[in-house]
Amino acid sequence: MALAEAGARGRLLRWPRVLLFGDSITEYSFQENGWGAYLAERLVRKCDVVNRGISGYNTRWAKLILPRLITESTSPDSIAAVTIFFGANDSALKELNPKQHVPLEEYAANLKSMVQYLKSVDITADRIILITPPPLQESAWEKACLAKGDKLNRCNATTGQYAQACVQVARECGTDVLDLWTLMQKNQDFSSYLSDGLHLSTKGNSFLAAQLWSRLENKLSALPSLLPYWRDVDHTNPEASLL
């Protein structure tokens, strides 16, 4: 009875959400030393960092899913930020990987459609960050493909075209963008950022985490820590501090 009364008096505790939406590079981001785990640690008691990475997916499929993750009934205030991180699969070569491949113009249109959907449910442009695919280290990825009995099914120059399209969509839509493809190649030997030529290594995860945090910190710095520090709780009357 006492718990029920306390629940009735107290406000429902809701942590704002940072939604990470993407392919396998997002799905794996909660692994040890992953970029998503880094964000979750930095934002603990401020936001829930929600991993909605779906391995192997492209923007053609993603745009169908997004309205089921953030619906018209979702309170806009409950979404602190959204990252949209696709392109590594869309940019697969059509003749060698037709299932995942999405033509360049459609890729750009799909990204724009997702941003426009978020805006339509009152997620403002300043809370949306597009992330380009990282560069592809072809020799390493070819080894990974050959180990599965496949041919090299991606190339870095093509991935770069998709990265440029992502940057252009962000410019047109007024959102922030993290151009991983360009930033990682400022270091001429970018292979250390990748574990298999496509997915991120520990170093690549750290690089992405730092770059993304520099963009998120200003957006989220004003968010309060939820619930008082334990030393600030009135232990003689905890209800006064916690309800």
Is residue 101 situated within a structural domain?
Answer: yes
Is residue 12 situated within a structural domain?
Answer: no
CA-to-CA distance for 32 and 125, rounded, in angstroms? 31
Number of domains in the chain: 1
- The residue range of the domain holding 55 is 17-219
196 as an active site residue: the answer is: yes
**Per-residue tokens: 134:** 């990282």
Which CATH number fits the domain that encloses residue 197?
3.40.50.1110
Contacts of 212 (CB under 8 A, 6+ apart): 35, 39, 83, 129, 131, 178
Which one is catalytic: 24, 192, 201, 206?
Answer: 24
Is residue 2 situated within a structural domain?
Answer: no
Is the whole model's pTM more than 0.85, yes or no? Answer: yes
Q: Over the range 114-124, which residues count as b (16 or more CB within 10 Å of their CB) and which as e?
A: bbeebbebebe
Low-confidence ranges of the chain (pLDDT < 50): 1, 8
Which one is catalytic: 113, 196, 201, 206?
Answer: 196
* 141-160 per-position pLDDT tens digit: 999 999 999 999 999 999 99
* 86-130 per-position pLDDT tens digit: 999 999 999 999 999 999 999 999 999 999 999 999 999 999 999
Is residue 145 situated within a structural domain?
Answer: yes
Is residue 201 situated within a structural domain?
Answer: yes
pLDDT at 2: 53
pLDDT at 3: 52
CA proximity to 57, closest of 100, 115, 112, 27: 100
24 as an active site residue: the answer is: yes
Percent of the chain with pLDDT over 70: 96
